[in-house]
């Protein structure tokens, strides 16, 4: 087994990890700030792919879909927070989880009614069709683009949270919402925005995955389980954790695919079990809060 194959394998693992990171990120941010586990996250990922496809077919350009779908679905997410989830704050921590679980049924079936239960083709944007010769092998241009885009999104997100006033409010709100209210911050609006951001990230993941996988109403259910595993490994609520765990899972799947391909799906669950035995709160999770 030569080195170039292993490098190619690592690269495909990172590309796979990039999609995992972006979906797990939305889940973990919403939990970190709101304490809500969004079970409809996978369904919203799927709706993002459909929205991207729809916008792309209206405007004739993938790029409009990539830009507008996360915003549209993010706004839709805010609506969900405002109409449904807001009523459950102060009740059992399980209630928002159960509500979004029911919601995922409605969303998936709604898409089946509107777009049919078959898959729909989602063509790769023409600028990114084909492969790039890396000297040691060929790699799809589109997947390289996904890695780059996810890196940019992460950078923007990190700068916003760490270096701006908005980021300061958000971080403080996650730590102590009551004090924030005393200080005159409308914490309800912060939560609304955060939930919208989380859902928007799910939708972005969906649009990005569209050209790689077939778009169909069930595409979110597998993603949900994967995103859960990544957030559990990284530590619920931890952004750094989601990034590290996402890449870790992607690369593990990829390396296992080289040596024992049929075990590629099992490996991430096994990885999670090991992490839990050693650190029940996850790699970057804060002990006492969730575990």
The interface with another protein within residues 122-141 (CB under 8 A) comprises 123-124, 130-131, 137-140
Smallest CA-to-CA distance from 69 within 88, 82, 56, 80 is with 56
DSSP string for 10-73: HHHHHHHHHHHHHHHHHHHHHHHHH----TTHHHHHHHHHHHHHHHHHHHS-HHHHHHHHHHHH
Is residue 235 within 8 A of residue 284, CB to CB? The reply is yes
Position among 67, 71, 79, 97 found at the interface with another protein (CB under 8 A): 97
Rounded to a whole number of angstroms, the distance between the first and last alpha carbons of the chain is 42
Q: Is 22 in the site for another protein (CB under 8 A)?
A: no
Question: With b meaning 16 or more CB within 10 Å and e meaning fewer, what string describes 10-46?
Answer: ebbbbbbbbbbbbbbbbbbbbbbbbbbbbbbbbbbbb
Decide whether 63 or 269 has the Cβ nearer to another protein: 269
Q: Is 148 in the site for another protein (CB under 8 A)?
A: no
Site for another protein in 47-86 (CB under 8 A): 84
C-alpha–C-alpha distance, residues 159 and 161, integer Å: 6
Decide whether 196 or 234 has the Cβ nearer to another protein: 234
Q: What mask, x for binding another protein by CB under 8 A, covers residues 152 to 191?
A: ----------------------------------------
Position among 232, 242, 248, 249 found at the interface with another protein (CB under 8 A): 232
C-alpha–C-alpha distance, residues 44 and 238, integer Å: 21
Position among 31, 45, 145, 284 found at the interface with another protein (CB under 8 A): 31
Q: Is 8 in the site for another protein (CB under 8 A)?
A: yes
CB of 101 to another protein, least distance (A): 6
CB of 100 to another protein, least distance (A): 9
Helix (H, G, I), strand (E, B) or coil at 197: helix
Site for another protein in 268-287 (CB under 8 A): 269-270, 272-273, 276-277, 280-281
CB of 192 to another protein, least distance (A): 18
Question: What are the residues facing 131 on neighbouring strands?
Answer: 140
Position among 30, 104, 199, 247 found at the interface with another protein (CB under 8 A): 104
């Amino acid at each position: 087994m030569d080195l170039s194959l292993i490098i190619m394998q690592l690269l495909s693992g990172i590309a796979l990890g990039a999609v995992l990171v972006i979906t797990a990120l939305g889940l973990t941010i919403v939990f970190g700030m709101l304490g809500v586990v969004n079970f409809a996250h996978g369904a919203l990922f799927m709706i993002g792919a459909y929205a991207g496809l729809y916008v792309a077919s209206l405007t004739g350009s993938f790029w409009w879909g990539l830009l507008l779908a996360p915003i549209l679905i993010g706004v839709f997410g805010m609506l969900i927070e405002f109409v449904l989830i807001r009523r459950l704050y102060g009740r059992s921590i399980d209630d928002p989880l159960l509500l979004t679980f029911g919601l995922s049924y409605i969303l998936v079936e709604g898409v089946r009614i509107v777009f049919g239960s078959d898959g729909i083709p989602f063509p790769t944007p023409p600028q990114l069709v084909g492969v790039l010769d890396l000297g040691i092998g060929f790699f799809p241009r589109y997947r390289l683009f996904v890695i780059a885009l996810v890196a940019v999104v992460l950078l923007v997100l990190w700068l916003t949270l760490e270096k701006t006033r908005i980021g300061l409010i958000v971080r403080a709100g996650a730590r102590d919402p009551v004090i924030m209210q005393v200080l005159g911050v409308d914490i309800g609006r912060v939560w609304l925005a955060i939930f919208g951001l989380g859902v928007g990230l799910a939708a972005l993941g969906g649009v990005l995955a569209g050209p790689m996988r077939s778009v169909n109403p069930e595409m979110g259910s597998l993603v949900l389980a994967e995103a859960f595993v990544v957030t559990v490994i990284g530590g619920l609520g931890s952004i750094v954790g989601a990034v590290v765990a996402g890449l870790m899972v992607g690369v593990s799947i990829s390396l296992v695919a080289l040596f024992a391909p049929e075990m590629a799906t099992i490996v991430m669950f096994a990885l999670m079990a090991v992490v839990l035995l050693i650190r029940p709160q996850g790699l970057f999770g804060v002990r006492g809060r969730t575990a």
